[in-house]
Structure 1
Amino acid sequence: MPRTLTGFIFMMGFIHQTMLLLLSIVLFTVSILPLEVQRRIINGATHGSSINSILVLAFAYLALVLTEGGVKLVLNIYRGWIGEIAIRWLRMAVLDARKQHLDEQTTLAEGVEMSIVIAEAEPVGGFVGTSISEPVLQAGVLAAVGSYMIYLQPLLALAVAAVFIPQTILVPILQSLINQRVKTKITVMRHLSEEMVEHDSSPKASHNRAARVQRLFATNMSIYKLKYSLNFLINLMFQLGFAGIFALGGYYVITGRIEIGTVVAFIAGLNKISDPWGALVDWYRDLKVTQVKYGLIRDASTVGSSDGPDGESVAPT
């Protein structure tokens, strides 16, 4: 297996990653257009535009939304296919290694293999499909919508930007704590699998298994607390951003410095970037966790880094 997660990602198909990247660029380019159409509809309605003009803009908005949804559908299915290719490769690699070293197998090794094939391969392989396209897509949406906000009203855009500054500090700190617990969880699960393979029914073995189950419970709960505390803080920051738009935007509308459509566009824009920002945070979490998981799988594997399970090319077909 490749030494790094990045090497494994590109081993699964550089061309496919490039295609996913291009689809992501198309998607975040299209995503900015509905905001402008929405702004023009509202301003047109408040300034007495004709019904025909409003209907044309409404149909244009619908066409853009359908286009965006269609590209996203293709992208998600393509990602899923690449992820399943990687999951299959990992599982077959471990099974092939088991077949080649059957005479040297111990119950401990069998337990680790069982854990990798059944549980550990899926999240690692699944990450391959989103590893490159996801950050490009979400960062592209953030950049496009952010630039559009700056174009409309720089001071309002500054209020929105303030939402993200505390998050850039909190996310890496809390994620490092989560990574430590994920590594502990995987190690405990492997030990539990090893003990189950041994079929030891003695009181001491039963006690050890119960203790490991309890430790898994405690570790999972600590992960939940960190994860959902971070989610709470992110949601709170976004609500503060909405409050800033309402206050500053309302003042600008009252004083005649901007139109009501601009405020609506900012509200829609903040809504539109909340999901990409959350997805980008989730991707960062997955990246760090998957790096830990991939390292543990690689260390437990004896499969070569250049050939697939049957000594053939591993590129997806």
Structure 2
Amino acid sequence: MSLLDRYHLLVHDVAAALGYDYSDATPDWVHPFIHLILVLAPALLISVGSYLAIRGILKLWKYRSTPAIHPEPIRGLEGSLFSTVLRYSRRQQALMIVVSLIAMPILYLTLELPKQIVNNALDSGRFPVAVLGRDVDQVVFLMLLCGLYLLAIILNGLNKYSLNVFKGYVAERFLRRFRLLVYRQWRSDPDSGNQSEIVPILAQEVEPIGGFAADVLTLPILQGGTLLTILFFMFVQDPVLGAAALTVLPIQLVLLPKLQRRVNALSRTRIKEVRQLGRQLSDQLRERQVNPAGLLPVSASFRELEHVRRKIFRLKFFIKALNNFLTALTPFLFYSLGGYFVIEGRITLGALVAVLAAHKDFSAPLKELFRYYQTLEDTRIRYHEITAFFAGSGHSSEVAQADDSTLEKVSQFEQSPLRKTTLPFEGHGDLASQ
């Protein structure tokens, strides 16, 4: 038996294990789909997943084995972004994780009930049916399932609303503390008068870090759980169609991170250019006079910023277009192969409709996870740049002690039961603790 014959037997065995026996009577166009879905795509996915896992383990081992030069460049902040976020929002993170996990069974109901409505409530040949010991006709049964579906939608919406609102509170609270720590470090620096870059740091660069603090654990758990729930639902309807949903995933895992690393490098360049521009403008302000020669470097900085931003836009939109194209390929497999399965009687029309609807929701958490990876890399760059900005700065003990005392008093005041109002500069951060 040749190697090609063994390969064909392997494909037939895998298809039979998934409950689909196809033979020479099967249309020729089905065979390459089966080979792609059941053998080639899973093999590529396993290879890519193994490579990423090994690379992540080696990267983590290298990070832990390398001694940190500046473990805590800013008092109150850890050397790692994750450690800093968990240090100040551990309890809030645990609560958000619990709320995220509650959303999974509700999500499964929103996927299962439409299939039940199409297959059972619209089937007029099996009524009346018994529900809780009572016989109901077709219209009542339809309204009952629709009511359950509406209830599941309402619960899902309330869960997302409460989670998003609480995430906003956690983000604002962490952002306020992070800004205060950076500002305290700036005050304790004897050369702070020359650090004109502190304005864009406090106003712009810390903003994404505060927003990411609420998503650091919740988003991957919520979106990853959503992805696994939808994928499990697809496999329950039909294992072949469930495997088809993963066909383009290896390509996305290979191409998108590489393109994102180029965007990250450009983001780092943009941050440095903005700071350089701040230094030039600060020097001109200290001169207290208009210097025509100062226009040339400022104009060059503007031109370089425009050039970098254009590169970032081109890469970001190319990543988005590529991801949308790859995501749109999977419904083609569902319509062609899934439609053939409906004609054969392998699956019901309601199951195919449910799989199509589930895949529409399947692409959303996948995009969120890729966006999380992009945000993670961008935020880590910003956090590293901010901590590196103060890494070589001196410290003034008197100012530092005064700021430590102020932070302690502010913390005590926040926990005091006498507090009734929110101070103007606090935003909505304290609502998270109420």
1:189 aligns with 2:274: yes
- Which of 356, 367, 388 does residue 299 from structure 1 map onto? 388
CA distance in 1, matches of 2:184, 2:152: 48
| CA distances 1:131-158 after superposition (whole Å, capped 9, x unpaired) | 1100000000010110111111011111
1:202 to 278, 291, 295: 291
Q: Distance in 2 between matches of 1:239 and 1:33?
A: 25
8 Å contact kept, 2:174–2:210: yes
Give the 4+ runs in structure 1 shifted more than 4 A: 313-317
Following superposition, the deviation at residue 309 of structure 1 comes to 8.6
Alpha-carbon offset, residue 281 of structure 1: 0.7
Q: Distance in 1 between matches of 2:250 and 2:152?
A: 31
- 3-state SS of 1:32 partner: helix
Residues 41-52 of structure 1 aligned to structure 2 (within 5 Å): 41-48=117-124, 50-52=138-140
Q: How far apart are residue 46 of structure 1 and its match?
A: 4.1
Answer whether contact 2:121 2:141 (CA < 8 A) is retained: no
Q: Which residue of 1 aligns with 2:244?
A: 159
Q: Which residue of the partner structure matches residue 220 of structure 1? A: 309
Letter in 2 for 1:160: A
1:142-153 maps to which residues of 2 (within 5 A)?
A: 142-153=227-238
2:174 paired with 1:79: no
Residue type of the alignment partner of 2:352:
V
Match of 2:74 in 1: none
- Number of the residue aligned with 1:170: 255
Larger Rg: 1 or 2?
Answer: 2
Does residue 116 (structure 1) correspond to residue 198 (structure 2)? The answer is: no
Unaligned runs of 5+ in 1: none
- Which residue of the partner structure matches residue 105 of structure 1? 192
**CA deviation string 1:31-62 (max 9, x = no partner):** 11111001000112442251111111101001
Q: Gaps spanning 5+ residues in structure 2: where?
A: 1-76, 128-137, 415-429
Q: Rate the CA distance shift 1:56–1:46 in 2: closer, same or farther, 3 A.
A: closer
Higher RCO (CA-CA < 8 Å; seq separation 6+)? 1
| DSSP-derived class of the 2:205 partner | helix
Match among 144, 148, 152 for residue 60 of structure 1: 148
3-state DSSP class of the match of 2:346?
A: coil
The residue identity in structure 1 corresponding to 2:191 is: E
RMSD: 2.0
Mapping of 1:22-33 within 5 angstroms? 22-33=98-109
Counterpart Cα distance in 2 of 1:213 and 1:279: 33
Kindly tell me: are residues 186 and 161 of structure 1, through their superposed partners in 2, closer, same or farther at Cα, counting changes over 3 Å? same
Residue number in structure 1 paired with 2:224? 139
Per-residue displacement from partner, 1:224-277 (whole Å, max 9, x unpaired)?
A: 111111111111112111111000111011111111001101111101111111
The AA in structure 1 aligned to 2:377 is: K
Matches of 1:53 and 1:257, distance apart in 2? 26
Task: Determine whether 1:243 maps to 2:332.
Answer: yes
Q: 1:309 to 1:45 in 2, by over 3 A?
A: farther
- 1:163 Cα deviation from its structure 2 partner: 2.7
Deviates more, 1:196-205 or 1:182-191: 196-205
Residue type at the aligned position of 2:151: A
* Greater share of residues in helix: 1
Pairing partner for 2:181 from 87, 93, 101? 93
**Retained in 2: the 8 A contact 1:124–1:294?**
yes
The answer as to whether partners of 1:28 and 1:138 remain within 8 angstroms in 2 is no
TM-score (norm 2): 0.68
Rounded to whole Å, the distance in 2 between the matches of 1:310 and 1:240 is: 58
* Identity rate, percent: 26
Query: Distance in 2 between the 1:19 and 1:98 partners?
Result: 33
Aligned to 1:20: 96
1:69 equivalent to 2:154? Answer no
- Count residues in correspondence: 312
Which residue does 2:7 correspond to in 1?
Answer: none
Q: What SS does structure 2 have at the residue aligned with 1:54?
A: helix
Aligned twin of 2:132 = none
The verdict on how the C-alpha distance between 1:157 and 1:298 changes in structure 2, with shifts beyond 3 A counting, is same
Q: Is 1:9 aligned to residue 67 of structure 2?
A: no
Distance in 2 separating the partners of 1:93 and 1:157: 49
Structure-1 separation of matches of 2:187 and 2:262: 37
Write the letter of the residue equivalent to 2:188. Q
Rounded Cα–Cα distance in structure 1 between residues aligned with 2:210 and 2:269? 20
* CA distance in structure 2 between the aligned counterparts of 1:128 and 1:59, rounded to whole angstroms: 38
Show the counterpart of 1:267: 356
* AA partner of residue 216 (structure 2): S
2: distance between equivalents of 1:224 and 1:203?
33
TM-score by length of 1: 0.93
Distance 2:141 2:96 in 1: 37
User: 1:205: Cα distance to partner?
Assistant: 2.2
